[in-house]
Amino acid sequence: MVKIQLHGEKESVTINTMIDSGATEDFIDSEVCNKHGIKMIKAKNPREIYLVDGKPRAMGPVTHMTKVPMDISSHRELATFQVANLQNHEVILGMPWVREHNPTIDWNDKRITFNSERCTTWYLKSSPVAYAVPEDKALEENLITRFSEIQAKKGPTTKNGPTANDQRVRVKKLSAEARVPMKGTPRAAGHDLYANEGTDVPARGQAIVGTGIAIGLPHDTYGRIAPRSSLAVKHRLMTNTGLRDSDYRGAVKVVLANLGDQPYRVGKEDRIAQLIIEKFDNRELQEVTQLDDTDRGDQGFGSSDTTMDQRVTGQKAKAHMEIKGDIGKSLRTILPKRRDNGHPKMG
């Protein structure tokens, strides 16, 4: 992967792109276009993108294209991209770009040199060199671009911090080795949290595992730390006390509970849990002397497992018992006192 700079109408953005000679087109993610003001042009003939086995790709049909100024090192061009819903990358430079520029790629030194006659004659005074970025680092930088305050849409702030209208999610590394949470797939609900240290979780016990990060969440949201399904199924590892308030600025730590009979070793950079950001209702509570009536009333545990007929029958039986009790009280008031043998006392 290599670092590029795109110049949209709103702003310029620096992201890492995948150079893939196996891609039939040059692609850009639609979210990148929308976020940074890169104008999209509707295609005359929308078309599907197919895999080698003939099946349509999950990125969906291409309905738009765009032309945007792009810099790679000192190399600048007006790049043409097909707009799609990319699964794992923001930008892909495919075979059209590789064929047009024919750069020299040194795989050992991870170096890309633009030395074709077209580039040096038309665009450049010298042959620029761009160095590849390791894929893990590139993906992490792209994630920071999406969610950090550096590249995210600027929200209103005050001297005390962001306002209630600021919906940015901030991630701060507390150590150089920490990893920014990442999604396993584009539509995943949670971002995977990575261990920043090795830890042993005893059998039938629990341990606190640090992630090396702190987060700043938008107002009216909280972060729920949920278990990873693979750890839960294979090793019976769950999470405890999994809630982070939006005003908490300390280190994010995960309480891992081992429900199994064998100890578990957490390695550094292991995925240990997932962070799910959820909205909540922040309205105030009001004390009252009485609540409104409902069909359910005070029916508690197990009441939802009963049928309406059972509930009606139960209510009738309760009413019948109350009526019977009232009649008994009335009879005791009307009848005279009884003798020890149970018969009424005669005059």
For residue range 89-134, what is the model confidence (pLDDT) as tens digits?
Answer: 889 998 898 888 888 877 777 777 876 665 655 444 444 566 666 7
49 contacts: CB under 8 Å, gap ≥ 6: 24, 25, 56, 57, 59, 61, 62, 84
The pLDDT, as a whole number, for residue 311 is 57
For residue range 51-81, what is the model confidence (pLDDT) as tens digits?
Answer: 555 666 666 678 899 999 988 877 788 899 9
User: What residue ranges define each of the domains in the chain, with the CATH number in brackets?
Assistant: 2-147 (2.40.70.10), 168-279 (2.70.40.10)
Tokens of 30: 């639609």
Query: From CA 110, how far away is CA 131, in angstroms rounded?
Result: 6
State pTM to two decimals: 0.48
Give 347's pLDDT tier (boundaries 50, 70, 90): very low
Residue 7, classified by CB atoms within 10 Å of its CB into exposed (0-12), middle (13-18) or buried (19+), is: middle
The more confidently predicted of residues 211 and 324 is: 211
The pLDDT, as a whole number, for residue 325 is 61
Is 190 a residue whose pLDDT tops 80? yes
90 contacts: CB under 8 Å, gap ≥ 6: 15, 16, 17, 28, 29, 32, 142, 145
- Residues of the chain with pLDDT > 70, as a percent, come to 69
